[in-house]
Structure 1
Amino acid sequence: MGSNNKDLQRQGKNNKLLTPSRSLKETRSRLYIIRRCLVMLLCWREPRES
């Protein structure tokens, strides 16, 4: 069981190292979605009735 705890601690340290890049990706994806929504809202028009 002692080796399992060491492995978990290593994985925890590795996850902490990856967290900034993961949060950066999440932030970029959120900004992308917000940007797409804003463009859709700005470009949206009511269909004209003929």
Structure 2
Amino acid sequence: MPYLQHIVVCFGRFGDSGVSEILAKCKALTHLVIQWSWNVELNGDLAEICERLQQ
């Protein structure tokens, strides 16, 4: 889904690798909302990349 711009994910069963794949595949993404996904820790560069999406 390269043209997807907004994603809301709740109660996902994925971790940082899943978030990384979303960011890699959705090049036009401007908003990523991840709620109640307990395995997501946003380690490494993921936190910085996600912060840039919201600006």
**TM-score when normalising by structure 1:** 0.26
Higher relative contact order (CA 8 A, sep 6+): 2
Query: Larger Cα Rg: Structure 1 or Structure 2?
Result: 1
Superposition TM-score, scaled by structure 2 size: 0.24
